[in-house]
Chain A
Amino acid sequence: MDVIERIKSQLSSNPVLLYMKGTPDFPQCGFSATAVRALNAVDARFESVNIFEEPELREALKQYSNWPTYPQLYVNGELIGGCDIIVEMYNSGELKKVISSVSAQG
């Protein structure tokens, strides 16, 4: 499968998906760690992709999303943002709303 197809497949099969440096248990970057903490704080059930293990995808996704850094959070296939935006949405309560709307869909 070509890398863009793989990205699309990951996005369509995971309603909440975090592309990050490292894993939720062992984040390898402070910004990725912050993103995981925010998601955990709103009880999000999410999947993650460690971009350190996917060098080709790491470059391709930056082009695909027009977003040059990691982490990148996607909900229902749509880019929500990076660490700054995740924290901003956590503080405003919007992150919880977005995550709850996904959980409600089952």
Chain B
Amino acid sequence: MSPQEVEQLIRTGMPGAQVKVESDDGTHFSAVIVSEEFAGKRTLQRHQRVYATLGRLMGNEIHALTMQTHTAEEWRALQQATQQQ
């Protein structure tokens, strides 16, 4: 699969989310997802939410998906912290 296809699936399943997916081999992906849906959720629940948008592709066509999941506020804080370093 292409990173763009995975991106599209996550965006469709999580309307309003900002999604960036990368992959070197078409089976192992890494994603950064920024969505207000993550507010108040632990990392485990956030990852389960993203996995749900990919259904049976996870563990089959998609061997692995490494995720960074943030709310918009967390993302801004992270960007500022990175710039200050």
Does A associate with B in a complex?
Answer: yes
For B65, list chain A residues within 8 Å (CB): 69
Q: Is B39 an interface residue (CB 8 A)?
A: no
For B44, list chain A residues within 8 Å (CB): 79-81, 85
What interface size band does chain B fall in?
10 to 19
B59 touches which of A66, A68, A85, A88 (Cβ 8 Å): A68
Seen from chain B, the residues whose Cβ lies within 8 Å of a Cβ on chain A are 43-44, 47-48, 51-52, 54, 58-59, 63-67
- 22 A-B pairs with C-beta separation under 8 A: A66-B48, A66-B52, A67-B47, A67-B48, A67-B51, A68-B51, A68-B58, A69-B51, A69-B58, A69-B63, A69-B64, A69-B65, A79-B44, A80-B44, A81-B44, A82-B47, A84-B43, A84-B47, A84-B67, A85-B44, A85-B47, A88-B43
